[in-house]
Structure 1
Amino acid sequence: MYYKQGFSTPYIHYRPEGGNWTAVPGLRMETSEVAGYSKLTIDIGSAQKLEAAFNNGNGQWDSNNQRNYFFEVGTWTYSGNGNIKEGAPDPFTSNTVTVYYRHGFGTHYRPEGGTWTAVPRMWMETSEVAGYSKLTIDIGSAERLEACFSDGNGRWDSNNGKNYIFNEGIWTYNSDGIIREGAPGVVPALEEIA
């Protein structure tokens, strides 16, 4: 199982179809050889399918709107927005966008021209840079990511309704409204960001 790293430390909570669930939060997934993905191999015994949901180990869930995800025996890749395909992700065609944004907000996004995530947001994990969260998104064959941000309580940052556009790669959205290529460098204190 390959899982796009919507969480910086993803866990998989699962059961062989008809069997018992793992204890919450499940098993921590390992970093894979493909950028932007975690992976884990699971023995499901004589079952034919695996039922699963993903989480960050701290109460944030990706559970297909509480319907869970189902995987048959084999190698599978979940790349977000309900997209499941057979096989491992191709490291040469994996097209990812990593966005750093001020801590406390999540993102509502779509690969340009594709389907939006459910409102209000996909939770963004705390990053390695103080004051910032981040999310890595596989945009498939799209050239860019279209996104806006929300605190989950009705407060939106949508570039005055025009949304933000990110090319493939790593980007930082600063509180000054400017998008810069790369991870954050010198970061202001949290009080200055708010």
Structure 2
Amino acid sequence: MGYPPEPWSLCGRMTVSVWAIPVAEVPALPAELSRAVRIVRAGSRALVGAAWVDYRPGGDLSYRELLAAVLVRAGLRTRVTISHIWVDSADSRDGGRELWGIPKDLAALEITDARAAAASIASAEFAAARPRFRLPIRFRCTQALHGRPKTTPVRATAKCGTAKVEWEFERGGPLGFLAGRRPLLSLVADDFRMSFGAAAQR
């Protein structure tokens, strides 16, 4: 096993944008999840996020990531489900799949404070952002693992602020359902310190 046990302690910088898109155009949830969670609806639309993440040295792993996720609910409790995700670390890919059911694939990723790119998937240009406040961030991620829902806690703090992000999605690519759409908002979480996963029970 080349990846660390959970929880992973990670640090770095994330830029995320959120769209409201027709529910019918959201990628279908895996069958194992569709029985446990429902897409959160705002009328006929769903909230979908996409993020570039630069996990920097100082955490358990250092790598880059591009992901898309949808807001769902289990009863009245909100969750996030990751529908698409690419990393440039085999250890991150294997750990994400085996520990939490996160469907990570490998890709060549470039991420700086000014731009990001993943060939044949997406690219982005970032305007200068000034994160203002260090805020706590907590949510739960629900994925399908071994045929059953698996919910994982995520806890972090970060210097948060609004950002301006110009996205370009490959229309024939896996995130083509976001092509040509303007995000509702974009945020940057700088100098984040994250704990992903739960400690083993004793």
Shorter chain as normaliser: what TM range?
A: under 0.3
TM-score normalized with structure 1 length:
0.24
Which protein is bigger by CA-based radius of gyration? 1
Name the one with the larger strand percent.
Answer: 2
Higher RCO structure (Cα 8 Å, ≥6 apart): 2
Name the one with the larger helix percent.
Answer: 2
